[in-house]
Amino acid sequence: MKIIVVGCGRVGSDLAVRLFNRGHEVSVIDNVSAAFNSLGADFQGRFIEGEALSQDVLFRAGIERADALVAATNSDALNAVVGHVAQTLYNVPRVAARNYDPHCRLMMETFNLQVVSSTSWGAQRLEELIYHAEIRTFYSAGNGEIDLYEIVLPDDHAGLKVADLQIPEQSLVVSVTHAGRAALPAPGMVLYGGDLLAISATFEGIEAVRERLNIGKGA
């Protein structure tokens, strides 16, 4: 793919190198030439110095044929505008934007952008580690609004049914692995001690599941 990364700070430079190493054609835009030093000598993508909202800069980066653009500067306003311009004026198929200040997320989402907030996501991960040391998160959707968790069912809760751990709009058991075989569970499936459960849940939902299973009580 032809991908444009706007912003060559810590996030943008790491992303650009990852994408290049995967074989993509990568162009990086930054208004400070020294920022490109963080890409390393092995990076063979394109460097474009200038303001990301400049039409000339965007054309030099190849926006008219770009498959994707990531706005990863430290300015939420710039990321939102660049992402919006890429979507609406240049019809870039895939656009994502970094959110720096969580208070600006709503503003960015009004532009219909896919937004990643490292601050919000990181804070929630840390909170979950405090509350849910016995529960492993292995996938996060959006900015942590919905996560997939793995839980080993305690032996003293054998006989529960899948429905006992499902809360409307908060938690859903998406798979049960028993004796090494995974299955898509029906609500009436009976669970055994040691079963590995994959549960999709909000933070409130997984807290309710933890309470139901007495996981972490007294910690």
pLDDT category of residue 219 using cuts at 50, 70 and 90? very low
Alpha-carbon Rg for the chain in angstroms: 22
Q: Could you give the domains of the chain?
A: 2-120 (3.40.50.720), 132-213 (3.30.70.1450)
Q: Each residue of 120-137: pLDDT tens digit? A: 777 766 766 666 556 788
> How is residue 150 written in tokens?
């793995």
pLDDT category of residue 144 using cuts at 50, 70 and 90? confident
pTM metric for this prediction = 0.65
